């Protein structure tokens, strides 16, 4: 999100908010300029910034100590064509592994979402597909066929390799490296995406 000063908000009874925000970073102002520089965006115009997850984990550790258990939920990406989901998962799990190497007590990770779902703000719009399995809502016989995504394949590979390499089942560096090789990843700052080799 981009938060900016707004005369309208400042003059209203809600001036304590401190500003207005733009959720879709593809939106331009009247001069056809973006509000801020950013990296690669998902289909809803949200910035992809894997390092943000690491930064948040380290902030939690500084605030409440290294022993605080952290369970990451709803880490996902809106990606109707399944172009970014696998690299997104790989690069975010890399940031989690890095935080664990620095002492974070990560007790779990849940990707958002298992299947494409109803998003309150975006409904069933194709751009709001977050699922590891895509749901075909245009299926004429109403079976709502599901299709596995590359993101699910990358996630499955990382889980399988990590379980084989670690008794605790914690994500391993070699599992992430293998997934990066097969599926690609984002740079920590989200400015670049590597392609599978």
pLDDT band of 166, cuts 50, 70, 90:
confident
110 occurs within a structural domain: yes
Is 43 domain-assigned? no
Looking at the structure, tell me whether residues 16 and 74 fall in a common domain: no
172-190 residue pLDDT tens: 999 999 999 999 999 999 9
Orientation of helix 85-101 relative to helix 51-64, angle to 10°: 30
Q: Is there a cis peptide before residue 191, judged by omega within 30 degrees of 0?
A: no
Same domain, 148 and 95: yes
The confidence score (pLDDT) of residue 139 equals 72
The answer, yes or no, to whether residue 102 has pLDDT greater than 80, is: yes
C-alpha triplet 87, 85, 114: angle, nearest 5°: 135
Indicate whether 18 and 53 sit together in one domain: no
Q: Identify the pLDDT of residue 34.
A: 54
Specify whether 58 is located in the same domain as 14.
no
Q: How far apart are CA 106 and CA 94, in angstroms?
A: 13
Tokens of 83: 């172009």
For residue 26, is it within any domain? yes
Q: Is residue 160 part of a domain?
A: yes
Shared domain for 159 and 70, answered yes or no, is yes
Give yes or no: residues 24 and 110 share one domain: no
Q: Provide the percentage of residues in the chain whose pLDDT is more than 90.
A: 59
| Same domain, yes or no: 112 and 187 | yes
Res. 6: pLDDT tops 80 = no
Q: Specify whether 109 is located in the same domain as 166.
A: yes
* Domain, as residue range, for 134: 48-194
Statement to judge: residues 15 and 110 lie in one domain:
no
DSSP state, 47?
Answer: B
Q: Give how many domains the chain has, as a whole number.
A: 2
Same domain membership, residue 52 and residue 33? no
Residue 43 is predicted with a pLDDT of 92
Would you say residue 20 has pLDDT above 70?
no
Identify whether residues 15 and 94 lie together within a single domain. no
């Amino acid at each position: 999100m981009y938060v900016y000063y707004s005369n309208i908000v400042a003059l209203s009874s809600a001036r304590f908010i401190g500003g207005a925000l733009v959720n879709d970073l593809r939106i331009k102002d009247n001069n056809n300029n973006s509000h801020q520089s950013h990296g690669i965006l998902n289909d809803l115009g949200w910035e992809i910034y894997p390092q943000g997850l690491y930064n948040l984990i380290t902030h939690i550790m500084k605030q409440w100590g290294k022993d605080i258990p952290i369970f990451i939920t709803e880490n996902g990406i809106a990606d109707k064509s399944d172009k970014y989901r696998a690299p997104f998962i790989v690069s975010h799990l890399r940031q989690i592994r890095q935080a664990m190497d620095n002492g974070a007590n990560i007790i779990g990770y849940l990707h958002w979402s298992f299947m494409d779902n109803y998003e309150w703000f975006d409904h069933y719009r194709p751009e709001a597909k977050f699922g590891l399995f895509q749901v075909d809502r245009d299926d004429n016989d109403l079976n709502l066929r599901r299709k596995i995504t590359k993101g699910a394949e990358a996630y499955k590979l990382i889980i399988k390799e990590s379980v084989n390499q670690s008794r605790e089942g914690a994500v391993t560096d070699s599992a992430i490296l293998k997934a990066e090789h097969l599926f690609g990843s984002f740079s920590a700052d989200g400015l670049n995406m590597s392609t599978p080799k």
